[in-house]
């Protein structure tokens, strides 16, 4: 698959993932939702690898890559599933829009990428302002909505650290192999959390929750992660994170029309500020150059 096609597919998958995450925990609990998803994902990944004779390397750099991917999946996804209980599904995608900025700061430290220029700093400040607006508006969602925002910030941090770590290692490993290796690291950790939390298997799984788990396990976990790691190998880490520039608006609308989630004015203002910050962060210097040329 071409890199642009893979990039667009990841956008489509990530736009629908927040709502599917919310539905997958309906009446069965978020821990069952995420654990069953990841178990299904690793089984599907291994079957696909066997069908297409895709090797999962086990050399030192590959193992380090799998650990980086697996820990990122474990912390980021567990935080998302926990947070989704307190905030609308669209907010999950909006708050994940902060990922390019967090990734950029980490990339500046670990990958020596040039980030701390005036336009990018201004973009970060604008994004932080959008986050503050979201925090202010969260009071209307209930007293626990703040927990959801904090959970998403933890998820973003874990996701960004994992992406930069994988980029820094730079192992020559197939994208699907990174997905499988990462899931093989994450699944035992998720099962351990499930058992330690005293969870039990539900007697019945509602149809919508079941289909959401299947979709997330086969499409979200395997295809989505594989294409994400494929894009990550060919594009710099900060540009990969720009996928989150498009998904928030789509996710907000899906949550509104398919799940009856209200979209408050503060949500739109916060979303606009975060996305504007992302545009300024990534394209501010180019836009300034175009303006100077025109003038």
Q: For CA atoms 230, 275, 261, 157, give the dihedral sign.
A: positive
CA-nearest of 146, 3, 32 to 86 is: 146
**Token pair 């932080």 in the structure block, residue:** 128
Token output for 203: 């007697």
Number of domains comprising the chain: 1
Q: What is the pLDDT of residues 224-275, one digit of tens each?
A: 878 887 887 787 766 776 776 778 888 998 998 989 888 888 888 988 998 8
Is 60 exceeded by the pLDDT of residue 294?
Answer: no
Q: What is the pLDDT of residues 76-100, one digit of tens each?
A: 999 999 999 999 998 998 888 888 8
**Cβ atoms 147, 83 nearer than 8 A:** yes
What pTM was computed for the model? 0.85
Token output for 38: 């990841």
Q: How far is CA 293 from CA 118, 120, 138, 288, 290, in A?
A: 19, 21, 42, 9, 5
In whole angstroms, what is the distance from residue 29 CA to residue 38 CA?
15
Domain that holds residue 101: 3-294
Q: What is the pLDDT of residues 21-48, one digit of tens each?
A: 999 988 899 999 999 999 999 999 999 8
């Amino acid at each position: 698959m071409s890199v642009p096609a893979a990039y667009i597919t990841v956008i489509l998958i990530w736009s629908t993932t927040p709502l599917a995450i919310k539905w997958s925990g309906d009446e069965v609990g978020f821990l069952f939702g995420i654990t069953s998803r990841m178990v299904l994902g690793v089984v599907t990944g291994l079957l696909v690898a066997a069908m297409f004779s895709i090797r999962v390397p086990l050399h030192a750099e590959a193992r380090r890559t799998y650990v980086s991917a697996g820990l990122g999946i474990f912390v980021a996804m567990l935080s998302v599933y926990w947070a989704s209980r307190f905030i609308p599904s669209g907010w999950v995608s909006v708050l994940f829009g902060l990922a390019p900025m967090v990734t950029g700061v980490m990339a500046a430290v670990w990958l020596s990428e040039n980030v701390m220029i005036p336009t990018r700093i201004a973009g970060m400040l604008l994004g932080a302002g959008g986050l503050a607006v979201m925090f202010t508006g969260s009071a209307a969602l209930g007293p626990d909505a703040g927990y959801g925002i904090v959970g998403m910030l933890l998820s973003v941090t874990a996701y960004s650290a994992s992406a930069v770590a994988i980029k820094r290692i730079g192992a020559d490993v197939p994208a699907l192999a990174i997905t499988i290796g990462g899931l093989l690291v994450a699944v035992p950790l998720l099962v351990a959390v499930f058992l330690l939390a005293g969870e039990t298997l539900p007697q019945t799984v509602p149809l919508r929750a079941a289909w959401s788990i299947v979709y997330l396990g086969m499409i979200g976990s395997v295809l989505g992660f594989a294409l994400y790691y494929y894009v990550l190998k060919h594009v710099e880490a900060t540009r990969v994170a720009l996928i989150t520039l498009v998904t928030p608006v789509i996710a907000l609308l899906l949550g509104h029309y398919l799940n009856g989630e209200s979209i408050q004015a503060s949500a739109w203002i916060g979303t606009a500020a975060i996305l504007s910050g992302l545009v300024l962060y990534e394209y501010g210097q180019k836009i300034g150059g175009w303006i100077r040329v025109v003038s």
